Amino acid sequence: MESRRIEIDLDVHRAIEAARHALGESENEILRRLLLPARRARPRPRDARADARAIAAPRSRGLWSVEICGRRIPAGNLKDAYRVLLRELAAAHPDFLGAFAEERTFGRRFVARSPAALYGRSPHLARHAQGLGAGWWFDSNLSAGQVAKRARIAARLCGLHYGSDVRILDNFREL
């Protein structure tokens, strides 16, 4: 594939980063996904599998978003907001996930390199682990209060202040 360098301003760079789905996704892959969506030759007929996937889609309740240094990123639900926060902090602070992996509550780590490593004494809970990308996993079996506490710790590890630099919002109210 032939490539060429282009110059972009900071706002365009921020928009590309906001569209990132995984830490390992390149800027070219992001732009290709956004600008050249895959086209289907003909619509597929509905089937039971498609209906089952729709039922299994993540729940969306409220208007969730994450604010980092004045930039607001929408999220479908609490779990997605937490995932967005972790990915954004990891993208801006390369050592963040390693430091966050050292943080823990009683028997659980906040992030880990494997689902089983998240839960320590309760490996049966590994089914709740969600991938962050780049080989990292996070615990998604959390209440809003637990996410808020972990978001405060995450902000502190990055030298940011929760409430001014970093916020998770539900219907425009801070967690």
Residue 143 is assigned to a structural domain of this protein? yes
Same domain, 75 and 32: no
- The whole-angstrom separation of Cα 155 and Cα 68 is 9
82 CB contacts (<8 Å, ≥6 apart)? 138, 140, 142, 147, 150, 151, 168
- pLDDT of 52 above 70: no
Number of domains in the chain: 2
Whether the predicted pLDDT of 146 surpasses 90: yes
Residues 68 and 103 in one domain: yes
pTM: 0.64
Clarify whether residues 106 and 26 are in a common domain: no
Domain span at residue 29 reads 8-39
96 lies in the same domain as 161? yes
